Chains A and B, each alone.
Chain A
């Protein structure tokens, strides 16, 4: 589904991604791990179009996506979250969700004035979907709350919910567990597994919580110094000496 081929990206003199290649297969929960500075988030930024690569290719469902501007990438049904939650603070929880769907007719200035029935109909569908997502994430009672008033964990759920609004085939989750308490994390895992099974969604996630990664992800890709170091099941990764050395600094 997603192929990253010999990807390169430098910032000044630092090679953040240095010839990295891997694949993410359809309907998997693929983990991306590695020590700090391994280049994981840069890879996510390259896939989602936020950075332009210096070299290499990114293919999604067989088409090159690396030359696309970032706003074109979600239209291919590839959605992402951010490492640090980026809730729209001065907007309500439901508006945070309702802004996410693509190709909204009401986002044309003329349609905002004339409000033809199909615009209203689409808006109603978007609202119903947002309420379903809030219900699924069990935060329906917060729908009219400003996003800035949510707890850290609730913001993570909101960000996760926002990606669900776009009907993605592939969701990139950048540290979904960061700052989330164990109970909420268990819940979030449940949601990811449920969506993968029921909706055939594919997840590609960066995470530092090894228990979570080992339990949830298969396969797991390990990055170090901008390259793919290893790939395999949780057991294979745990027994890989190169991986252990990278983490322990050996």
Chain B
């Protein structure tokens, strides 16, 4: 594959990983109003767990079971879900801002555990992750093949989440987002719904982590900085909080902007770092979205349930 096509495939796969993350956050924030600032933590849990499951035996890190790729995905989701459940049970009743503090703290604890537990995770040096099914396609087409796998995962997830949110279950979680007291007054077990959403959304972050690890073939704690969480938030807000298609578009647009700005490095005056410019532009984009189009590119669908 030529350089331009190769870059496009790389960009699209990266964007698909973020679209998966954005759907997870959309379930939590867009539909339920849960403020999760710890997306990167669950993303990391998924990436490392899938790596442990699928990698070949090694004395330098945990796992190495050589299990198939789908098992890696399932374990990644299950582990992230279990972490969310353990975190959620004591904190699910916290108000928005306190939940945000707890979740960002959780994500940083996960990252520091990965950094410090070198004998389990290879710490800051990072660990290799296998390329699934690489024997099925010629090496030059592998990236495109893997993009196909990532797109299939995204489409299946999209269909599953569309069914979930456009149903009486989705109507109940939207009610919780709008007014918890009303949900309680009409017999909804608000804590239980919120816990379900925290777990399901976090399982999706874990899934994204696994897809990311097998795409990058190498993961380090630096892939899971709080900045990743911030980017996913911008994607959800720009794309349309409460609209799964909107947040996919948001992921493509924000990731495109992020990667596209790399080309500015040649024309920027010396001394200006591209990393700083990227942050400033994304921050500006967020401010613009909130001021000009608070509902995002695609707003929320009007009807809550399409079950009939």
Q: Which A residues contact B (CB, under 8 angstroms)?
A: 48-50, 69-72, 74-75, 79-80, 82, 86, 88-92, 95, 98-109, 111-113, 115, 119-120, 123-124, 127, 144, 146, 162, 166
Contacts and interface: CB of A to CB of B under 8 A. Distances in A.
B190 interface: yes
A144 B170 CA distance: 18
Contacts of A104: 168, 172
14 contacts: A50-B184, A71-B184, A79-B185, A82-B181, A88-B174, A88-B182, A95-B174, A98-B168, A103-B187, A106-B305, A112-B164, A123-B307, A123-B308, A144-B302
Contact of B178 (A80, A91, A111, A127): A91
Contacts of A88: 174-175, 178-179, 182
A99 B172 contact: yes
A111 B169 contact: yes
Given A95-B171, A111-B169, A119-B307, A70 B184 contact: yes
Contacts, number: 116
Given A79-B185, A92-B303, A107 B172 contact: yes
Given A80-B185, A112-B167, A123 B305 contact: yes
Nearest to B196: A109
Interface of B: 160, 163-164, 167-172, 174-175, 178-179, 181-190, 196, 200, 300, 302-305, 307-308
Contact of B167 (A74, A106, A144): A106
A86 B178 CA distance: 9
B168 A75 contact: no
Given A70-B184, A112-B170, A95 B196 contact: no
Contacts of B167: 106, 111-112, 115
Contacts of B307: 106, 112, 115, 119-120, 123
A162 B186 contact: yes
